[in-house]
Amino acid sequence: MHGFSKNCLEEYQDQNIMTTNRTFTMLKPDAVKKAYIGPILEQITASGFRIVAMKLTQLTTADAQEFYAIHKERPFYNDLVSYMTSGPIVAAILEKENAVEDFRTLIGATNPEDAAEGTIRKKFAASISENAVHGSDSNENAAIESAFHFSGREQF
Ligand code: CMP
């Protein structure tokens, strides 16, 4: 569970949005820099995901520290925060039946060396740290991460 302020999550839940068919993704700085936004979004939408919300944005250090607070004790935490703030990202909410699990299948393993052929990370990721895309790991985190980036008015 992330340590985000409860207000955002409560606001999100209060809007009575069905969260079980939604997941949250970021196209990370390496993917944006290498001009992979188009091909990655094409693969996502061709795989049956509907874009509910999307923006090009850049995380501040405080944003990234909060978003990845769950990894605070991990040795890669500082590198992760500096990498995730190194350039623009695309943040998006995606909708599909069984969204969280199906999206994680579509992106492949965290380390692209272990990712299955044809997955987004296998095709577009450079390394375990610069791994092109994020996908929420549970319905609860999808709701929390979506609320971190988007208000209800930004979701369609
Ligand atoms: P993601 O799952 O999107 O969010 C946490 C990120 O931490 C993960 O992608 C990787 O980019 C990064 N990460 C996870 N494990 C390691 C590791 N062992 N070394 C470096 N980075 C890692």
- Write out the DSSP string of 71-128: GTTSTTHHHHHHHHTSS-EEEEEEE-TTHHHHHHHHH--SSGGGSPTTSHHHHH--SS
Tokens of 14: 């209060």
pLDDT of residue 16: 45
Q: Which residues sit with their C-beta closer than 6 Å to ligand 1? A: 76, 80, 110, 128-129, 131, 134
Among 78, 80, 119, the mutation site with the greatest number of ligand 1 atoms within 8 A of its Cβ is: 80
pLDDT of residue 5: 58
Residues 45-100 pLDDT 10s: 999 999 999 999 999 999 999 999 999 999 999 999 999 999 999 999 999 999 99
User: CA dist 72 to 67, 132, 149, Å?
Assistant: 10, 21, 20
- Quick one: how many helices (H) and strands (E) in the chain? 8, 4
Does the structure show a pLDDT above 60 at 149? Answer: yes
Considering only 6-20, 64-78, 84-98, 124-138, which range has the smallest mean pLDDT? Answer: 6-20
In this structure, the residue with its CA closest to atom 1 of ligand 1 is: 134
pLDDT of residue 20: 74
pLDDT of residue 18: 47
pTM: 0.89
Q: Which residues, including other chains, have CB under 8 Å from residue 150's CB and lie 6 or more apart? A: 53, 55, 91, 93
Is residue 134 part of the annotated active site? The answer reads: yes
pLDDT of residue 7: 63
> What percent of the chain has a predicted confidence (pLDDT) above 90?
87
